[in-house]
Structure 1
């Protein structure tokens, strides 16, 4: 089954997910940990008219090693067998000669939501990103003689998202929501970041960094999502299908690949203030369309054809919610994810795990 088929199945599940009543006897006035989806799911809920919520998320992703399709591959075969699309240009070897080894990425995301009406919630998100990439350079020409390792790093604000969440259900049940969110991503993140690299000619030079090391898309992107979630007793469940649609090429002549994502989760609530969740996420991302003429290097990350993937991830999380005194309205949540399936348009770096830690306050 392809990732697109999985996403379509999740969308169908979201459309027909059954309705369940709130906890018996709660009167709709008690805050439950399961009133929210796992912290890694965005735009899952809406707020009552006049209600605010502010949030902070810390997200960490660790990538180490490379993969072509579904197979792991070591650096030496990459530099001896994978052709360099820029071969023929001055000082460009016939095969790739620089290989990424590891790439940790950190993101700090701030968000705000406001209930314009009971069935319309406005929201916005900003983020600050730090990326590092460790790479290995091989001597120019052929062979597997290592010249040395080096690291590139960038930090800065990413793209900004604004939009609305619209309730599609009739609002009859306090703990059941079916929501359509429509967000627009504004290109506030830089796509012209540079750093010093070690070339196969044993030169250190400042160059524009390849696509995965840039901070934004450079394009206005449409980000729709359909979410349904509900609860029965101590169990809660939900599903979401979402996408990222690039509306045009950016100023540097390219557009990142479109994204289709489907996810479904199940959570158990041993006590009203805590829930434990399991989630599956399937994601399909296309290749880059176009090319930045200033991104030219014998490394896989500089080739638009070596972008895009189909992945499946399993995630495990915990939600903590306060309902009394100073704790009322606060939520702490953690989610940890590991890959189940990776099919990469490689050679391309593979993700080993993800971590999301979040805090939210409704008032």
Structure 2
């Protein structure tokens, strides 16, 4: 979290307004910072972006209901029961998780008809766990934390403006952009950590699926985005998907993901725009299993992955309007879940924050 706040402080000065002559850029030319691939560029334009995202999770749910750790370790069967050192029920429970993701992106338009995009990721994750003693009961043996850090998958895409790119500063504008994207399996899928077992041992094992930085699969990532502006009012919507095209080298694939989002914004001045957004997401269970991921913990079970979630988000876009700061953009967006139906037991999301900088040349 402190890294994301540091990014926000360092970038904020790039978007401060002044009374000097304003360039023809507006804060609501772009969607809220959490919406990717919302716009194309004119021929010859180049854009660099950097985003930092922080997400926190805590507690556990089965479906829409909260479930206590003591209940999980006394009632939820262990998928691996019967194998050596595997108890009949789950005996390790994740309690909190923090994720920091850093995304560096570049866009270039070789023509008005297409904009090319690439984005790389670096991901840090922390998960806190409770380990219960032995094969039954509710006596806590101790706690431990896993903390993998690695490069994530690389995204490449071509953006096609189906409705022409509006002129800069247009007070009435409509954009419709089609994204044809692929996720390349450049992220790590074999991260390890030292854990505390119910028998008090501390082996080094491969961390479960959600703690890995990459998917290991080639994924198709289409999206369609509509964005409009009527004077100081802006609005838009996007439908997007991540469709797994194969299984990875370990024999599994994450579930397909489908997202829909819609937003509205208000621009009180050229340099600032305020937004509100709703996002709905559904993700399937993992297909297959990694034979190296095993243990009496819910995160090792491919069936305890995915589900449905709805978030509400509030954001602000800032843009520099003169001199050396002209065109530098800063976006901030804070989100909270209002509905979660999880294939659990599974950790529930608490909140997320995205801070991003963008500059076109």
Distance 1:239 1:170 in 2: 17
Q: Corresponding residue for 1:134? A: 128
2:78 matched residue in structure 1: 84
Q: For residues 165 and 148 of structure 2, what CA distance do their matches in structure 1 show?
A: 45
Q: TM-score, normalised by structure 1?
A: 0.91
Structure 1 segment 123-202 matched on structure 2, within 5 A: 123-171=117-165, 175-202=173-200
Counterpart contact for 2:314–2:334, Cα < 8 Å: yes
SS of residue paired to 2:71: helix
1:281-292 matches, within 5 Å, as: 281-292=279-290
2:282 is the counterpart of 1:270? no
Q: What number of residue pairs does the alignment pair up?
A: 335
Residue number in structure 1 paired with 2:322: 324
Q: Give the SS at the match of 1:99.
A: strand
Paired with 2:157 and 2:76, the residues of 1 have a C-alpha distance of: 42
Q: Distance in 1 between matches of 2:209 and 2:338?
A: 25
Measured in 2, the distance between the counterparts of 1:348 and 1:309 equals 9
Are positions 1:110 and 2:104 aligned together?
A: yes
Distance 1:196 1:171, change over 3 A: closer
State how far apart, in whole Å, the 1-side matches of 2:136 and 2:302 are. Answer: 23
- Report the alpha carbon displacement of residue 170 of structure 1 after superposing the two structures with TM: 4.1
- Does the 8 A contact of 2:312 with 2:337 survive in 1? yes
Segment of structure 1 superposing worse, 116-125 or 166-175: 166-175
Q: For residues 161 and 231 of structure 1, what CA distance do their matches in structure 2 show?
A: 28
TM-score normalised by length of structure 2? 0.92
CA RMSD after TM alignment: 1.0
5 Å matches for 1:176-325? 176-325=174-323
Structure 2 counterparts to residues 19-34 of structure 1, below 5 A: 30-34=24-28
Equivalent position of 1:26 in the other structure: none
Any unmatched runs of 5+ in structure 2? 1-22
Cα distance in 2 for partners of 1:207, 1:30 equals 55
Counterpart position of 2:66: 72
Gaps of 5+ in 1: 1-28
CA contact 2:309–2:341 (8 Å) conserved in 1: yes
